[in-house]
Structure 1
Amino acid sequence: MASLLQGRLPINQDLLLMQKGTMMRKVRSKSWKKLRYFRLQDDGMTVWHARQAGGRAKPSFSISDVDTVREGHESELLRNLAEELPLEQGFTIVFHGRRSNLDLVANSVEEAQVWMQGLRLLVDFVTSMDQQERLDQWLSDWFQRGDKNQDGRMSFREVQRLLHLMNVEMDQEHAFQLFQTADASQSGTLEGEEFVNFYKSLTQRAEVQELFENFSSDGQKLTLLEFVDFLQEWQKEGERASDLALELIDRHEPSDSGKLRHVLSMDGFLSYLCSKDGDIFNPICLPIYQDMTQPLNHYYINSSHNTYLVGDQFCGQSSVEGYIRALKRGCRCVEVDIWDGPSGEPIVYHGHTLTSRIPFKDVVTAIAQYAFQTSDYPVILSLENHCSWEQQEVIAHHLTEILGEQLLSTTLDGQLPTQLPSPEELRGKILVKGKKLKTLEEDFEEEEEEPESELEGEQEAELELEAQFESEPQELSPRSKDKNEKKSKPILCPSLSALVVYLKAVSFYSFAHSREHYRFYEMSSFSEAKAKSLIKEAGNEFVQHNTWQLSRVYPSGLRTDSSNYNPQEFWNAGCQMVAMNMQTAGLEMDLCDGLFRQNAGCGYVLKPDFLRDAQSSFHPEKPISPFKAQVLLIKVISGQQLPKVDKNKEGSIVDPLVRVEIFGVRPDTARQETSYVENNGFNPYWGQTLCFRVLVPELALLRFVVKDYDWKSRNDFIGQYTLPWNCMQQGYRHIHLLSKDGISLHPASIFVHICTQEELEGADS
């Protein structure tokens, strides 16, 4: 089976050495450091490990799981152990999603280089694989798992075991017939290509074949005209269908003669439907497709809460990794809680709790390195400053020195602004959000003023009051807080104040107070409870407030487990920075990932026009749409290669059902589900149509969830995919499922037909 990919793998000395295997030290913490034998398997796609060479090995990771490989000095953990373990012999394997990093220390610099270079080569290879190669790799992984004795061939007994692992419940006689047909060499076992043929016979798609024959006059091929008709009538591709048909035939038809004759075979048709072209997510929404020249307050901004935490809020680990992960997934607003630290160096952690501490300097260094790797649109540092005057000076120094040109410390053109700058104007810039001693107008006044340290009593009192109202609550430790803490609260240091330009934090009292007293570059933060009550009591005022000022919403201080709220209700009111605990997977993060999947995942999404209009009459709790409601019809047809819920239970096969959920304004929020299919995760068929009525599609998100039905307890999660309504393609589409962590479950998918239409006159509301 290894031969499927090995022919395409680069022949490389590093890979050959990795396939021989290496003893390395696996490091989990200061106290857990153990020798393990790591070896790249012959397929070049998986790494296994054992306690010693020749010992019982088990899979460690697949190359497709690896995001990147870092050198030892870039590892937070290895840096802390630099006195006992040589940094130059260490490296870190970083995985996709929320899986913990793997820190390894080799016996020599040369061995570390072999593994780093070899892994990077393989990661690049996997990243550039096409659809067929990804399928080959997936099959190769399964072959490895099924081939118990690792002899490169599979007996019928091994195949039966593998079918169970792959979620296939099949009649033994039928399976044996397919096995014998695939065994071309009549050896009683299946080797590489034979296993592929066996898999193909397993995965024949009767529902796609039927669809193909419905549109093909001879049942053998789709002519160019037939394919154009299909694209226009069913896929709703409109006027571009003719040009698109030629492109798609060229891209997906496997035979050269078919390409020359401009016809599409059944294999080409299936390839199209399973590709990005046949995906539910509209490719038009994949690059930057929105206007990026409007003021910052016109955008939803991908925002993180307590970014430094990778665990819970009370005794979880604080880590620079939290910032790296958030920035790499497109987050554009990160939170930094800063407290006085030892030796005059400020530290970052969740105050008054047992969470671990990290130097502020390390956080800023990581932000400087990773801020613009995923998106070059501006990054906002939301500072929660609890430091003394002296350490605030250090904060300002680190920000200025480490961030350098990236840091925005004056207005863009040196002039007093009349509105917030746009994401486009702020490309490559890092902005500080925090308290500020003066207004921008005062900064621009030419007459000399009193030294900044000698604040007038009134201004000092205002800062004290703002600090009291604005600061986000911290969880209390078992010991009580110092009662004099408020009185001894330090005044803001001028050098730090000066770094706050467009994002001055101010306390919120009322919408009327904000209109009367605040400026467009001043912004307020709201706890989730406060924001919810404002939406209920004054939803339209909140919408209007968010057309000229930025708002940040943060999770309740009672969420000690780092759980999340539903961000949708705050987006409905136009709140720009709805901060999420990104370390916690689940429905709420699926919605956040779903909204920001569009626009190149750049972290900025333009709000609908009715949330950008200062005179907007929109009320998120009582929406009245100027247009007719949309009716959404989703026929859930079939599923493909759904993963097992519990991979360790060989005998269990999933009983899948599909739930479709709409999130939007309250009247639009709904869910419906299909019935379950018993004992079939491999190719379940539902053929059921679900119907939704949607009043404000501009705010709607669709979430498709596949569950394993369980009559005894809650249905188990299998996979999901979430996307904005405006990025949804109609027609026959595949939905490629993601894990809880948002990682591709390739080749797992569901096949649907989607149709939207305006509600008919006189239909029931």
Structure 2
Amino acid sequence: MLSISEPFAQDDEDIQVMKAGAMLRKVKSRSWKKQRHFRLQDDGQTIWYKSRWAGTGHSTFSVGDIEAVREGHQSEVLQSIAEEFPADLCFTLVFRGRRGNLDLVAESASDAQAWIRGIRKLVQNTESMDAKERLDQWIWDWFQKADKNKDGRMNFKEVRSLLKMMNVDMNEEYALRLFTRADKSESGCLEIEEFVQFYKMLTQREDVWNVFQNYSRDGQMLTLAELEEFLRQEQQKGEESQDHAHELIVRFEPSETAKKQGAMSIDGFQIYLVSSEGDIFDPQRLELHQDMSQPLSHYFICSSHNTYLMEDQLRGQSSQEAYIRALKRGCRCVEVDCWDGPNGEPVVYHGHTFTSKILFRDVITTLGEYAFKVSEFPVVLSLENHCSVEQQRVMAQLMDTILGDTLLRAPLNGLVPQVLPSPLDLKGKILLKAKKIGGLEESDTLNDEVTDEVTDEVSDEDEPKSPSAETLSKSKLSRELSDLVVYCKSVHFYGFEYSCQHSKCYEMSSFSESKARKLAKEKGMEFVQHNSRHLSRVYPSGMRTDSSNYNPQELWNVGCQMVALNVQTAGLEMDLNDGLFHQNGCCGYVLKPDFMRNDSSFDPERPEEREGYKPLRLSIQVISGQQLPKLNQKEGSIVDPLVRVEIYGVSKDQAKQETSYIHNNGFNPLWNETLNFIIHVPELALVRFVVEDYDKASRNDFVGQFTVPFTCIQPGYRHIHLLSKDGTALPLSSLFVNIKISELTTETE
């Protein structure tokens, strides 16, 4: 039986301090510092705060939304008031996704420590919960929300209100029948244990029960042999089924009696299906499992554009926090736009705009601190240099001093490479991508005092066809900065033929999205071959002043490694990026398919011509949804959900299909509709599941999504745990699907 317990650590001293509440200053800037009364709610999961003058108005946030707590002056805002408030009074709450941080100042050091310790305990507890504990917490939260008069009991009126809150439009007579069955004490109210029973009846998964019944001969238990058969027939586990079945019973079966019999109950079966083992994303593909010893050019590399920006490119804020967020998302290529600043110190911002400025020194300090917290593989620092020679020297000195041994200053083993080194070779290293005087072969022969001239970036329209055709302005480059460029020397792109004959492996080019897309469409095969040897970086159009993004898929299709996106901007493009780089330990590097790593003849526009071409049929039965979030908080408003499956890959694979919509049910909608696709290049395909709230009068509202590389999909009965528009988890919101993948011969296509 599902039981419920009070939230974590009720008697913990720090939690008690948080429940009693405290006055904390909320700080937004040097001039905006206002006192707010903060308090941890009785559910142990919600922090409530309000102004003493705000009347009934208040704000709340969930402990589950907090990613980390930073002590002291560890934000730009708190650094700006460091003289006014000592570090032992200050702390920062860092939220998941793209939500802004919350900077706070306590009235005493003991108050600050109690809140810092208390929040950390609550966050750690939330993160360590298993599926059952998360469900218990979720039920407790709903009970607290529905218990309006806070008497620890819930009458039928409160239950009806709860159902609306939970996205359920239930027949009142049926709801009353369930309520009466759960009310064992016949008091007309449900206490917490009775509410648990009501919840169990409400959430009975007929869809899971039907699957269970198909394999259970007695309808009560799955024997070891029956579970093996299910794993072999439905989950495509093959020879490993027997060992796997036993392991699943040990891990997921809650009944000790069933465990001793070597069997699985319906409860254990459901727990298994909603666990990571039953997830659509193969858990083995989540681990670092790819060969990391190949040349850098053989990997897709998670890359950020205008990394310093938190918002748009005209008036947005530049911030060190933007670098922290990008690096924590797994970015391994970040961009720095440098300009001459006051007092001889370079600054970083979007030139000729109203974006705020930050010191280059602070950016490099942040990079040094956060570069390898998420991934140990190399970070490329893409430098857009607009500085004078004098301030370039300052930049070189700052990087040298702050980054220390992590900054790569010379070729590995002192050898000039014929092919690029691997991510494994460069673990823990920061590589500078910028212009360079001469090449690696000439480094020892150049005069150290020379300041040479290099050509500026050129637009797509007037790009010269060869070096001899250059009619470009010249800009000075300091030798000190040049010497820090090793494997990522920025050069103009003069065409694939020129590159093949003359370019060194450590020379790389940047392409605007329009130029890259044009080359991909007209010379896809040559672009693939070029990218097997050289690194390419693609960046968004300068016209995207709102920091919107282009679709990265068509550039991955031709093997471009650094397809740079504005990671601060949520949407489809970042969903695809997050989906691709979610595999391989989220390390920021994904090995390209073998036919893109060698000098092959793969053309993304004609995939059927490649050697080893094997199209696959993807069949997705969309069965049901669970606890979809409510979008409109108005009384009586409930979602009408539909599911759309989108395929992103080579041109032939681009496809979308959707189910019908279910009227007024976001709690447990049932579709049982099958969508079929043909995938020509599975190695490059991404599958995106989107749930929307149908609206016949206007555009559908986004509810949730999840994107998975085709090669990481587990076939069989699987749950898809949905993410918000911001890329954060939507607790308990999922889709239940049955996926079949089979070979498709060209004759039957």
TM-score clears 0.5 = yes
Aligned to 1:102: 102
Give the CA deviation at 1:221. Answer: 0.4
Give the CA deviation at 1:197. Answer: 1.7
Q: In the aligned structure 1, how far is the partner of 2:590 from the partner of 2:512?
A: 22
Q: In the aligned structure 2, how far is the partner of 1:127 from the partner of 1:5?
A: 17
Aligned residue pair count: 737
Task: Indicate conservation of the 8 Å contact 1:387/1:490, yes or no.
Answer: no
Asked if 1:491 is matched to 2:476, the reply is: yes
Q: In the aligned structure 2, how far is the partner of 1:358 from the partner of 1:74?
A: 15
Asked if 1:45 is matched to 2:31, the reply is: no
Seen in structure 2, the aligned counterparts of structure 1 residues 471 and 366 have a Cα distance that, compared at 3 Å, is: farther
Task: Indicate conservation of the 8 Å contact 1:376/1:602, yes or no.
Answer: yes
Q: How does 1:420-439 map to 2 (within 5 A)?
A: 420-439=420-439
Aligned to 1:144: 144
Q: In the aligned structure 1, how far is the partner of 2:746 from the partner of 2:506?
A: 46
Q: How does 1:736-747 map to 2 (within 5 A)?
A: 736-747=721-732
Aligned to 1:586: 571
Task: Indicate conservation of the 8 Å contact 1:416/1:441, yes or no.
Answer: yes
Q: In the aligned structure 1, how far is the partner of 2:239 from the partner of 2:671?
A: 32
For residue 217 of structure 2, give the secondary structure of its aligned residue in structure 1: coil
Asked if 1:418 is matched to 2:418, the reply is: yes
Aligned to 1:606: 591
Asked if 1:370 is matched to 2:370, the reply is: yes
Letter in 2 for 1:641: Q
Aligned to 1:749: 734
Q: In the aligned structure 2, how far is the partner of 1:761 from the partner of 1:394?
A: 61
Seen in structure 2, the aligned counterparts of structure 1 residues 665 and 468 have a Cα distance that, compared at 3 Å, is: closer
Q: In the aligned structure 2, how far is the partner of 1:195 from the partner of 1:471?
A: 68
Task: Indicate conservation of the 8 Å contact 1:406/1:428, yes or no.
Answer: yes
Task: Indicate conservation of the 8 Å contact 2:51/2:58, yes or no.
Answer: no
Aligned to 1:230: 230
Aligned to 2:619: 633
Aligned to 1:201: 201
Letter in 1 for 2:614: K
Give the CA deviation at 1:115. Answer: 0.7
Same amino acid, percent of matched pairs = 59
Aligned to 2:639: 654
What do residues 256-286 of structure 1 show as CA deviations (whole Å, max 9, x unaligned)? Answer: 1111111001111111111111111111101
Task: Indicate conservation of the 8 Å contact 1:719/1:738, yes or no.
Answer: yes
Aligned to 1:481: none
Asked if 1:79 is matched to 2:79, the reply is: yes
Task: Indicate conservation of the 8 Å contact 1:49/1:58, yes or no.
Answer: yes
Asked if 1:327 is matched to 2:324, the reply is: no
- Say which is worse superposed, 685-694 or 87-96, in terms of deviation: 87-96
Give the CA deviation at 1:5. Answer: 4.8
Aligned to 2:669: 684
Letter in 2 for 1:285: R
Seen in structure 2, the aligned counterparts of structure 1 residues 5 and 53 have a Cα distance that, compared at 3 Å, is: farther
Give the CA deviation at 1:449. Answer: 4.1
- The TM-score, its normalising length taken from structure 2, stands at 0.96
What do residues 338-365 of structure 1 show as CA deviations (whole Å, max 9, x unaligned)? Answer: 1111111111100110000011111111
Aligned to 1:529: 514
Letter in 1 for 2:617: V
Aligned to 2:450: 453
Asked if 1:178 is matched to 2:164, the reply is: no
Give the CA deviation at 1:451. Answer: 4.5
Task: Indicate conservation of the 8 Å contact 1:470/1:506, yes or no.
Answer: no
- The TM-score, its normalising length taken from structure 1, stands at 0.94
Task: Indicate conservation of the 8 Å contact 1:46/1:59, yes or no.
Answer: no
Give the CA deviation at 1:75. Answer: 1.1
Give the CA deviation at 1:612. Answer: 0.4
Aligned to 2:602: 618
Give the CA deviation at 1:58. Answer: 4.1
Aligned to 1:575: 560
Asked if 1:504 is matched to 2:489, the reply is: yes
Structure 1 residue runs without a partner (length 5+): 474-485
For residue 18 of structure 1, give the secondary structure of its aligned residue in structure 2: helix
Letter in 1 for 2:401: E
Q: In the aligned structure 1, how far is the partner of 2:54 from the partner of 2:319?
A: 36
Letter in 2 for 1:628: K
Q: In the aligned structure 1, how far is the partner of 2:630 from the partner of 2:418?
A: 56
Give the CA deviation at 1:157. Answer: 1.3
Q: In the aligned structure 2, how far is the partner of 1:494 from the partner of 1:171?
A: 77
Seen in structure 2, the aligned counterparts of structure 1 residues 242 and 115 have a Cα distance that, compared at 3 Å, is: same
Task: Indicate conservation of the 8 Å contact 2:273/2:717, yes or no.
Answer: yes
Give the CA deviation at 1:84. Answer: 3.3
The match for 1:700 among 662, 678, 685 is: 685
What do residues 613-641 of structure 1 show as CA deviations (whole Å, max 9, x unaligned)? Answer: 12x11112222243332111111011111
Q: In the aligned structure 2, how far is the partner of 1:22 from the partner of 1:470?
A: 58
- State the superposition RMSD in angstroms: 1.9
Aligned to 1:259: 259
Aligned to 1:387: 387
Task: Indicate conservation of the 8 Å contact 1:5/1:43, yes or no.
Answer: no
Aligned to 1:562: 547
- Say which is worse superposed, 398-407 or 661-670, in terms of deviation: 398-407
Give the CA deviation at 1:162. Answer: 1.4
Aligned to 1:477: none
Task: Indicate conservation of the 8 Å contact 2:621/2:673, yes or no.
Answer: yes
Aligned to 2:628: 642
Q: In the aligned structure 2, how far is the partner of 1:593 from the partner of 1:30?
A: 35
Seen in structure 2, the aligned counterparts of structure 1 residues 527 and 279 have a Cα distance that, compared at 3 Å, is: same
Q: In the aligned structure 2, how far is the partner of 1:467 from the partner of 1:661?
A: 37
Seen in structure 2, the aligned counterparts of structure 1 residues 430 and 439 have a Cα distance that, compared at 3 Å, is: same
Q: In the aligned structure 1, how far is the partner of 2:344 from the partner of 2:383?
A: 18
Aligned to 2:716: 731
Structure 2 residue runs without a partner (length 5+): 464-471
Give the CA deviation at 1:763. Answer: 1.9
What do residues 275-309 of structure 1 show as CA deviations (whole Å, max 9, x unaligned)? Answer: 11111111110111110000100000000000010
Aligned to 2:466: none
Task: Indicate conservation of the 8 Å contact 2:451/2:477, yes or no.
Answer: no
For residue 499 of structure 2, give the secondary structure of its aligned residue in structure 1: helix
Q: In the aligned structure 1, how far is the partner of 2:460 from the partner of 2:504?
A: 17
Task: Indicate conservation of the 8 Å contact 1:539/1:619, yes or no.
Answer: yes
Q: How does 1:342-357 map to 2 (within 5 A)?
A: 342-357=342-357
Seen in structure 2, the aligned counterparts of structure 1 residues 258 and 738 have a Cα distance that, compared at 3 Å, is: same
- Say which is worse superposed, 60-69 or 147-156, in terms of deviation: 147-156
For residue 491 of structure 1, give the secondary structure of its aligned residue in structure 2: strand
Q: In the aligned structure 2, how far is the partner of 1:315 from the partner of 1:471?
A: 28
Task: Indicate conservation of the 8 Å contact 1:345/1:360, yes or no.
Answer: yes
Give the CA deviation at 1:517. Answer: 2.4
Task: Indicate conservation of the 8 Å contact 1:535/1:621, yes or no.
Answer: no
What do residues 208-228 of structure 1 show as CA deviations (whole Å, max 9, x unaligned)? Answer: 111111101110100000100
Give the CA deviation at 1:645. Answer: 1.7
Letter in 2 for 1:196: V
Letter in 2 for 1:708: D
Q: In the aligned structure 2, how far is the partner of 1:651 from the partner of 1:334?
A: 46
What do residues 670-721 of structure 1 show as CA deviations (whole Å, max 9, x unaligned)? Answer: 0000001111101110011101011111110000001111000111110000
For residue 174 of structure 1, give the secondary structure of its aligned residue in structure 2: helix
Q: How does 1:107-118 map to 2 (within 5 A)?
A: 107-118=107-118
Aligned to 2:123: 123
Q: In the aligned structure 1, how far is the partner of 2:663 from the partner of 2:525?
A: 48
Task: Indicate conservation of the 8 Å contact 2:689/2:707, yes or no.
Answer: yes
What do residues 195-239 of structure 1 show as CA deviations (whole Å, max 9, x unaligned)? Answer: 222111110011111111110111010000010011001100111
Give the CA deviation at 1:19. Answer: 0.7
What do residues 167-215 of structure 1 show as CA deviations (whole Å, max 9, x unaligned)? Answer: 0000111111212222233333223222222111110011111111110
Q: In the aligned structure 1, how far is the partner of 2:716 from the partner of 2:269?
A: 14
